[in-house]
Amino acid sequence: MSSQVKVWETKDRDPKSVVLHFQGSLDGSLDMSAIRVDPTKKLVLDVAGINLIDSVGTRGWVKWIMGLPSELEITLENCPGAFIEQVNMIQGFLPKQATIESFFVPYYCETCKIVSTKLMSVGEIGKQKKVSEYVPCETCGDVTEIDVTPETYFKFVSKYTKK
């Protein structure tokens, strides 16, 4: 079941920035044509609330984001796994000037049989694209194991981080 993506703006940070928050599914119901961006401000996209991305939503997202001015500074925060997968798979999912600052890494607990996520910054993993393979489970305290292939999942780091 999909829920159309909701987008809202906050201006509670640096006055030179605008933050757009995304919540819901990037799917066939996506219409981003009404989202206008001030080209004189830094654009921060908080995509933590995106829970599903399908092919039609991908097409709508790419059309919108690639239509933004090429000189616009774009930063992405709180990127969920579904978003990172699209960044790694789809050429042009993000424009060249975009940077990713933070993202979620999934971990699986064999004891609880659940997947939990840990928010990380690009600075935490460094240029070596290394991240802890095991972290304590927040539910039971047992050890969880990273639930992605690091070589594939962290491909975005070399392309979409500040140089």
- 1 confidence band (pLDDT: 50, 70, 90): very low
Residue that is written with structure tokens 């539910």 in the block: 139
pLDDT value at position 31?
A: 79
Q: Which residue has the higher pLDDT, 114 or 9?
A: 114
More confident residue, 40 or 123: 40
Identify the domain containing residue 94 by its residue range. Answer: 1-100
| pLDDT, tens digit, 9 for 90 and up, residues 28-43 | 787 788 888 888 999 9
Whether 45 is covered by a domain: the verdict is: yes
**Whole-number CA gyration radius for the chain:** 16
Number of domains in the chain: 1
Please tell me the pTM assigned to this model: 0.90
Quick one: pLDDT at residue 126? 66
- 67 found inside a domain: yes
Query: Is the separation of the CB atoms in 87 and 160 below 8 Å?
Result: yes
